[in-house]
Amino acid sequence: MIYIHVPLCRSFCTYCGFYSEIAGDGCKARYLEALTAEIRSSKGADPGPFHTLYFGGGTPSVLEAEDFRRILRALEDAGFGGPYAEFTVEVNPEDIVTKGPAYVEALMSLGVNRFSVGIQSLDDGILRWMNRRHDAERGLRALSILRACGVRNLSADLIFGIAGLSDAVWENTVRRLVEAAHPEHISAYQLSLEEGSALEESHYREAPEELCRGQYDRLCALMRQYGYEHYEISNFALPGFRARHNSGYWTRIPYLGFGGGAHSFDGGKRWWNTCRLSGYHRECEIISPENSKIERIMLSLRTSDGEEAAFLHRACREDILARLVSEGALIEERGRIRIPEDHFFVSDEIIKELV
């Protein structure tokens, strides 16, 4: 699995705490130079067993098709060339509307077969409050452009649990999104206060727990009604459209990440680039057997597949496992243990008890 981080954005969203810089020609040139050099110098590294490619950010759609071509050439030179089983690009709706079908078609001709669109909301007031670049109408227009270009694997991101987001507006967003575009995949995240975000500095107070829980439960019910499988705490897919790349993270498959701020993992060691556009360096952490066990439990129990029962029986205290099973917080069946959907919302507490 290969991850390319694009730490460039046209503007900053109020809730975002990711490392990113304002995209300008100078920044982009420096970024591309450093990135392609880094990729070429990694020739011979092991990208793991899954052959997926994921451009995340930041905002990868600030790059032009020619920029993607240049990065793909570097990947090819390093021995990581396509075709890829899954090739995802995260895009901002405003970039899709502004650049139009020619841009989408150019990316598809390079092999992109999955677009992940940062819709976040279909309420103009909420989108303005988030400082997103698009409004609801342009969010939907982006999805219809992608569909008209023949994109058959669309993912849309949404955010809930915002103080000021009513249940009615939330439900309306989910329904309009599905009825307008029927995306194959939906990721929905509860808003959290990120360190360094504008929200944190504005002394925003997080929405009450009951409101977040209510909106999450409503989302789960709607997704079920529309035929989506709830396969990870924050992720829903139509049959056959689980995200392969992200599923690799949850099962701790090795991967290589390139670009300032990107992480890599080889099964026993994790390393990452410092957060700079260019001139970044690597830092590294050896994962101890104990931490490796904890990571495995934390990641696998986020998914509807859960974890091998035999592993959890070895790794966790039997009395705690038995109690969580008896309380319905865990289900053990067919050699696996998982958190049922009606306990996903409190999965952090369940996992904390186990580890």
Asked whether position 13 contacts ligand SF4 by CB under 6 A, the answer is: yes
Beta strand extents in 178-281 (DSSP E only): 185-190, 229-232, 235-237, 256-258, 263-265, 269-273
Which among 334, 227, 347, 237 has a CA at the least distance from the CA of 297?
347
Asked whether position 12 contacts ligand SF4 by CB under 6 A, the answer is: yes
**Residue 47 or 57: which CB sits closer to ligand SF4?**
57
Q: Judged by CB under 6 A, how many residues of this single chain contact ligand SF4?
A: 9
Closest distance of CB 198 from ligand SF4, Å: 9
Asked whether position 198 contacts ligand SF4 by CB under 6 A, the answer is: no
Asked whether position 260 contacts ligand SF4 by CB under 6 A, the answer is: no
Asked whether position 19 contacts ligand SF4 by CB under 6 A, the answer is: no
**Residue 42 or 190: which CB sits closer to ligand SF4?**
190
25 by Cβ neighbours in 10 Å (0-12 / 13-18 / 19+) ranks as: exposed
Closest distance of CB 201 from ligand SF4, Å: 14
Give the strand order in the sheet containing 336-338: 307-308, 336-338, 331-333
- Residue in 2, 20, 155, 255 binding ligand SF4, rule: CB under 6 A: 20
Tokens of 224: 């079920």
**What single letter denotes the amino acid at residue 3?**
Y
- Residue in 16, 180, 315, 350 binding ligand SF4, rule: CB under 6 A: 16
Asked whether position 62 contacts ligand SF4 by CB under 6 A, the answer is: no
| DSSP conformational letter for 202 | T
The backbone torsions φ and ψ at residue 44, rounded to the nearest 5 degrees and listed phi first, read 95, -15
Bridge partners for 229 per DSSP: 237
91 sits in which H/E element: strand 86-91
Asked whether position 60 contacts ligand SF4 by CB under 6 A, the answer is: no
Stretch that binds ligand SF4, among 12-20, 242-250, 272-280, 347-355 (CB under 6 A): 12-20
Q: Which residues bind ligand SF4 (CB under 6 A)?
A: 9, 12-13, 16, 18, 20, 57-59
